[in-house]
């Protein structure tokens, strides 16, 4: 005799009894609490329970930083020419097309003009969801133009980094952007226009190795992964276990690599105060 007998032969898998809750709730990776998505958004995408800073897209970032959430986008029409005609598992041109479709952007960057507490500023915000926020020719050119625009108009500059580094699919063309952007920043510095670099989760590779660390102030959000090579690669190279919290904002601050770790809610007033201090009236 069977211990257990199923009444009907089939499991009822019809979707009628299901309630769709997908997208209304988010699980926090850090404290494992289930949070109502609206509560999270009202809290600037910071976990209300444990303060974990969720990743946000470029446009949300701009709206959070600039007055009334309003800004004017510029240089948004640049697109990659796929100079190497690169193909890995998929053609790079197809990846680009998919990312453009998914994000509504031409590449992993949004340049904007707007006001920060009444002061005209230029902001370049990276978009991590566009091929990992990687920097190819378009990101490099857009950031360079933003810097040049800041230099010409003497408007303080903010660059918000969120990037896996240089874009493999554009090879050496990506690496050239490091030098190009750094040179433009040197001219900005000579013109004595301030630049604040905001490093968000994650900022790695060639972006860390160039403009993200070249700010007059380099500030990071709490808990952001910031580094050049990833921890696994470093452990394998030096054959040592890395310390707890290695490559997180707080660790880097303790070791003199950053000027401050600033929670998202305080970013705007913090930067406004910094510009008050840095810009001669
Ligand atoms: Zn949490």
Ligand 1 center from residue 30 Cα (angstroms): 5
Q: How far is CA 270 from CA 9, 39, 157, 217, 277, in A?
A: 64, 24, 14, 11, 11
Check residue 230 and give its pLDDT: 84
Report yes or no: 255 and 247 within 8 Å, Cβ to Cβ.
no
Structure tokens at 195: 């630049």
Report yes or no: 182 and 214 within 8 Å, Cβ to Cβ.
yes
Per-residue pLDDT tens digits for 187-204: 999 999 999 999 999 999
Residues with CB under 5 A from ligand 1 (ion): 28, 30-31, 47, 49-50, 52
What gap in Å lies between CA 134 and CA 205, rounded to an integer?
Answer: 9
Please tell me whether residue 65 adopts helix, strand or coil conformation: helix
Residue 150 has pLDDT above 80, yes or no: yes
pLDDT, mean over the chain: 93
Per-residue pLDDT tens digits for 64-78: 999 999 999 999 999
Check residue 180 and give its pLDDT: 97
First-to-last C-alpha distance (Å) of the chain: 90
Ligand 1 center from residue 223 Cα (angstroms): 12
Per-residue pLDDT tens digits for 207-244: 999 999 999 999 999 999 999 998 888 999 999 999 98
Using only C-alpha atoms, the chain has a radius of gyration, in whole angstroms, of: 22
Check residue 231 and give its pLDDT: 84
Ligand 1 center from residue 55 Cα (angstroms): 13
Check residue 111 and give its pLDDT: 98
Q: Taken in order 170, 173, 175, 177, is the CA torsion positive or negative?
A: negative
What gap in Å lies between CA 70 and CA 65, rounded to an integer?
Answer: 9
Please tell me whether residue 74 adopts helix, strand or coil conformation: strand
Question: What global pTM score does this model have?
Answer: 0.90
Residue 12 has pLDDT above 70, yes or no: no
Count CA within 13 A, CB hemisphere, residue 156.
27
Ligand 1 center from residue 118 Cα (angstroms): 33
Per-residue pLDDT tens digits for 36-59: 999 999 999 999 999 999 999 999
Check residue 9 and give its pLDDT: 59
Residue 13 has pLDDT above 60, yes or no: no
Ligand 1 center from residue 250 Cα (angstroms): 18
Query: What percentage of the chain carries pLDDT values higher than 90?
Result: 88
Ligand 1 center from residue 265 Cα (angstroms): 16
What gap in Å lies between CA 168 and CA 74, rounded to an integer?
Answer: 26
Residue 165 has pLDDT above 60, yes or no: yes
Ligand 1 center from residue 67 Cα (angstroms): 28
What gap in Å lies between CA 65 and CA 116, rounded to an integer?
Answer: 7
Ligand 1 center from residue 44 Cα (angstroms): 13
């Amino acid at each position: 005799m069977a211990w257990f007998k199923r009444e009907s032969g089939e499991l009822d898998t019809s979707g009628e009894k299901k309630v769709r809750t997908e997208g209304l709730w988010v699980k926090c990776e850090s404290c494992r609490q289930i949070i109502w998505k609206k509560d999270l958004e009202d809290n600037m995408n910071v976990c209300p329970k444990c303060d974990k800073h969720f990743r946000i897209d470029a446009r949300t970032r701009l709206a959070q930083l600039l007055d009334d959430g309003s800004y004017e986008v510029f240089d948004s029409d640049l697109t990659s020419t796929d100079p190497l005609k690169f193909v890995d598992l998929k053609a790079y041109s197809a990846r680009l097309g998919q990312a453009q479709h998914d994000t509504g952007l031409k590449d992993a960057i949004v340049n904007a003009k707007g006001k920060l507490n009444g002061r005209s500023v230029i902001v370049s915000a990276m978009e991590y969801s566009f091929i990992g926020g990687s920097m190819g020719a378009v990101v490099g050119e857009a950031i360079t133009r933003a810097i040049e625009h800041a230099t010409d108009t003497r408007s303080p500059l903010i660059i918000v980094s969120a990037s896996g580094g240089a874009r493999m699919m554009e090879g050496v063309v990506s690496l050239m952007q490091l030098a190009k952007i750094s040179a433009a920043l040197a001219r900005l510095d000579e013109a004595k226009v301030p630049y604040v670099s905001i490093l968000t989760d994650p900022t790695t590779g060639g972006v860390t190795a160039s403009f993200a660390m070249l700010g007059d102030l380099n500030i990071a959000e709490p808990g952001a992964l910031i580094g050049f090579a990833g921890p696994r690669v470093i452990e394998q190279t030096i054959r040592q276990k890395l310390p707890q919290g290695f490559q997180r904002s707080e660790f880097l601050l303790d070791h003199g690599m950053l000027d401050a770790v600033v929670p998202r809610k305080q970013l705007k007033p913090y930067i406004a105060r910094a510009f008050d201090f840095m810009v001669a009236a």
